[in-house]
C-alpha cells in the first residue's frame, strides 16, 4: 500500500466509515483542479462540501463532476501546463 491508502484506511477506521467509499483519485483530482482555479483553501472547502453532499445522499461522482465543472468555469481555462 502507499501512504495515501494507508492514511485513508486509518482515517476511515477512526471515523467508522468504509475506506472503499472514498475514491481517492477523484478526490485528489478535484482538490487539484479547484486549487488551480480558485485558491488552496477553496480546494479544502470543495472536498469538505463534497463529503457533506455525499453524506446527504448525493452521488459522489456526479457531485465531484459538478464541482470540477465549477472550477473549470471559475478559471476560464480547460488545460493547465502542470498536467
Unique residue bearing C-alpha cell 469538505: 48
In Å, how far from its chain's centre is CA 23?
Answer: 8
Banded model confidence at residue 83, pLDDT cuts 50, 70, 90: low
| Domain range summary for the chain, segments of one domain joined by + | 26-76
Give DSSP secondary structure letters for 37-78: HT-HHHHHHHHHHHHHHHHTT--HHHHHHHHHHHHHHHHT-S
Grid coordinates representing 46 are: 470543495
pLDDT per residue as tens digits for the range 1-52: 599 999 999 989 998 989 988 889 999 999 999 999 888 899 999 999 999 9
Per-residue pLDDT, averaged over 59-82, amounts to 80
Closest among 9, 78, 22 to 50, alpha carbons compared: 22
Amino acid at each position: 500500500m502507499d501512504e495515501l491508502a494507508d492514511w485513508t484506511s486509518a482515517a476511515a477506521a477512526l471515523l467508522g466509515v468504509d475506506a472503499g467509499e472514498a475514491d481517492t483519485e477523484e478526490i485528489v483530482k478535484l482538490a487539484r483542479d479547484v486549487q488551480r482555479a480558485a485558491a488552496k483553501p477553496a480546494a479544502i472547502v470543495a472536498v469538505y462540501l463534497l463529503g457533506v453532499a455525499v453524506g446527504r445522499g448525493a452521488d459522489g461522482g456526479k457531485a465531484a463532476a459538478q464541482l470540477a465543472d465549477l472550477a473549470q468555469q471559475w478559471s476560464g481555462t480547460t488545460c493547465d501546463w502542470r498536467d
